[in-house]
Amino acid sequence: MNTEAKENEKIAAAVMGYGTIGSGVVEVLEENRDIIAKKTGKEIEVKYILDLREFPGTPVENKIVHDIAAITGDPEVKIVVEAMGGVHPAYEFTRACLMAGKHVATSNKALVAACGTELLQIARKKQVNFLFEASTGGGIPVIRTMYRSLAGEKIEEITGILNGTTNYILTKMDRCGQTFESALKEAQDLGYAERNPEADVEGHDTCRKIAILTAMATGKEVNYEDIPTEGITKITDVDFKYAEKLGRSVKLFGSSRIEGDKVTAFVAPVMVGPEHPLYAVNDVYNGIVIKGNMLGTSMYFGSGAGKLPTASAVVADMMEAAVYSEENIPLGWTEERLEIEPLENASFRYFLRISGNTQSGKERVREVFPDGEIVELSGYSEFGVLTSKMKEAEFNEKKAAISDVIGLIRAE
């Protein structure tokens, strides 16, 4: 980047939504003002903040506007941050800004997953940029890594712990023996989980993120509703007792396996051992493993959420837009829809819990899963079996021959 000729150029920006992320963006821009100017050759100044509230007595009170037209109608504003959350009116406001020839940066995974295809098309047409680094891993720079550093790779697999709330809950269940309910309450008390945690614990948040990453890897639109999704609400403290005996843990994975034109994607709890790169990713942290055909396996780790980590990623997008202010950066995907393969074609190991700790029951399980590893817990009237690797369709047929299955977790 040659920035010397425009050392003192000022560029006006607007922030839509002055909540956690929006206020974080303003804070990062102010705190790192000199660094940003030095690296871009431009001083990014926030001119407007769109919000329903007034914020009297704060440093931003004179920048508050309530009408999107103030932003779209001002030719000085070149970059807009969408930090409102949700799909509506974030979609309508983002679309209006792009149509007005303004770059937009967002951390909103719901918006990107639902409307990203259209918004990317508009950005290309208008020769501006729709950037969403913070939408999938908070402060982890994975989107830019994919379209810059891994541009020459054929991505074969993406697997990630993409939700800090669920990872915190599972970590507490693993390390402290807590139940799901008590771990969730602690996460809520600490502000890691919402009062209504459905989007996190049912896997919907992770699903949207793996859909975005899969679209980035394949260059095709991914409908997140096509991805089989299972959350963590069925995982119990007893599952972790078995996992401990097996030297394993349980993580919520969003995963995409790409083999030629066939893509299998899913969100589910997975039992993994210490040899897995994501085994040691605990608490509210996120981790993403990407396998390329030339590079092999690489891993990206960091804060997947939080005010300043997420805002830092948004500001990085603003800096990219400032440097490439007159051109559209080739990234994202086309409107061609990617077909997700049925999960029955994917292969896993499986951990089953079976009611009744009888010899006849264990013999029956050994007949069905001759290569399986039987696991018993002292004092429990049940037992478990960790199967060998097989296709899900084959597993479902075998499982049907066993009665009294009381728990199931896929395993690596």
Query: What digits encode the pLDDT tens for the residues 35-57?
Result: 999 999 999 999 999 999 999 99
Helix (H) or strand (E) holding 368: helix 359-368
Cα–Cα dist 81/49, whole Å: 9
Taking the alpha carbons at both ends of the chain, their separation in whole angstroms is: 43
Task: Decide if 81 contacts 97 (C-beta within 8 A).
Answer: no
Q: At what angle do helices 164-176 and 180-189 cross, to 10 degrees?
A: 130
Query: What digits encode the pLDDT tens for the residues 276-328?
Result: 999 999 999 999 999 999 999 999 999 988 999 999 999 999 999 999 999 99
pLDDT for 271 equals 98
Q: 3-class secondary structure for the chain? A: CCCHHHCCEEEEEEEECCCHHHHHHHHHHHHCHHHHHHHHCEEEEEEEEECCCCCCCCCCHHHEECCCHHHHCCCCEEEEEECCCCCCCHHHHHHHHHHCCCEEEECCHHHHHHHHHHHHHHHHHHCCCEECCHHHHCCCCCHHHHHHHCCCCCEEEEEEECCHHHHHHHHHHHHHCCCHHHHHHHHHHCCCCCCCCHHHHCCHHHHHHHHHHHHHHHCCECCHHHCCECCCCCCCHHHHHHHHHCCCEEEEEEEEEEECCEEEEEEEEEEECCCCCCCCCCCCEEEEEEEECCCEEEEEEEECCCHHHHHHHHHHHHHHHHHCCCCCCCCCCCCCECCECCHHHCEEEEEEEEECCCHHHHHHHHHHCCCCEEEECCCCCEEEEECCCEEHHHHHHHHCCCCCEEEEEEEC
Q: What single letter denotes the amino acid at residue 189?
A: D
The rounded Cα 8 to chain-centroid distance in angstroms is: 37
Query: Global pTM?
Result: 0.96
Q: 3-state DSSP call for residue 174? A: helix
pLDDT for 230 equals 98
Tokens of 279: 């085994």
Query: What digits encode the pLDDT tens for the residues 348-384?
Result: 999 999 999 999 999 999 999 999 999 999 999 999 9
Helix (H) or strand (E) holding 164: helix 164-176
Q: At what angle do helices 204-218 and 109-126 cross, to 10 degrees?
A: 30
- Residue identified by tokens 């597993």 is 395
pLDDT for 322 equals 97
pLDDT for 5 equals 45
Q: What is the mean pLDDT of the chain?
A: 96
Cα–Cα dist 286/305, whole Å: 8
- Which residues are annotated as catalytic? 209
pLDDT for 6 equals 46
pLDDT for 343 equals 96
Cα–Cα dist 275/265, whole Å: 22
Q: What single letter denotes the amino acid at residue 384?
A: G
pLDDT for 403 equals 87
Nearest to 286 by CA among 221, 181, 213, 348: 213
Omega of the bond prior to 277 within 30 degrees of 0, cis? Answer: no
Query: What digits encode the pLDDT tens for the residues 12-29?
Result: 999 999 999 999 999 999
pLDDT for 7 equals 58
pLDDT for 8 equals 66
pLDDT for 305 equals 87
| Average confidence (pLDDT) over 229-255 | 98
Cα–Cα dist 325/128, whole Å: 7
Task: Decide if 353 contacts 403 (C-beta within 8 A).
Answer: no
Cα–Cα dist 30/17, whole Å: 17
Tokens of 358: 């009888």
| Average confidence (pLDDT) over 119-129 | 98
Residue 166 clears pLDDT 80, i.e. is over it:
yes
Report the percent of the chain where pLDDT is more than 70: 98
Helices (H) and strands (E) in the chain, counts: 15, 16
Q: CA separation (Å) from 359 to 242, 283, 365, 385?
A: 19, 39, 10, 14
Task: Decide if 353 contacts 381 (C-beta within 8 A).
Answer: no
264: which residues sit within 8 A by CB, 6+ positions away?
Answer: 256, 257, 340, 341, 343, 345, 346
